[in-house]
Amino acid sequence: MNESSHPRLARIARVLALVGVIGWFSAFAYFLYLEGNSPGAPFAAAEMTVEMANHGHRFYVTRAQNITFDALLCGSGSLAAVGIGLGIRLQPFKPRERKA
């Protein structure tokens, strides 16, 4: 199976990988947003009781924000892995030609 026999599937693999990588990096942007806009101590009135940390700096978010971050990180990472794996399956690495 090669890319030329399945061009549509190869394009889908590239799109999956690209969307997954963009989503994975977006998870870190979301994490930094949460870090900058969340209290440094639990705030029970706003249900901000789930602790997150960044190199010793602790901050508290809601359960929904924590689930959103985890889903974005794991889901997009998995999507990227599937896209890359499918792309490698369609177009495997070619060995280098040795010069004589």
How do residues 25-83 score in pLDDT, each as one tens digit?
A: 999 999 999 999 999 999 999 999 999 999 989 999 999 999 999 999 999 999 999 99
pLDDT of 96 above 90:
no
Domain assignment present for residue 67? The answer is yes
Domain assignment present for residue 81? The answer is yes
Domain assignment present for residue 50? The answer is yes
Domain assignment present for residue 75? The answer is yes
Domain assignment present for residue 15? The answer is yes
Q: Which residues of 49-88 are buried (b: 16+ CB within 10 A; e: fewer)?
A: ebebeeeeeebbbbeebbeebeebbeebeebbeebbebbe
Can you tell me the mean pLDDT for 17-21? 97
pLDDT of 93 above 80:
no
Number of domains in the chain: 1
Domain that includes residue 68, residue range:
8-90
pLDDT at 41: 94
Domain assignment present for residue 64? The answer is yes
Domain assignment present for residue 96? The answer is no
Domain assignment present for residue 95? The answer is no
How much is the pTM?
A: 0.80
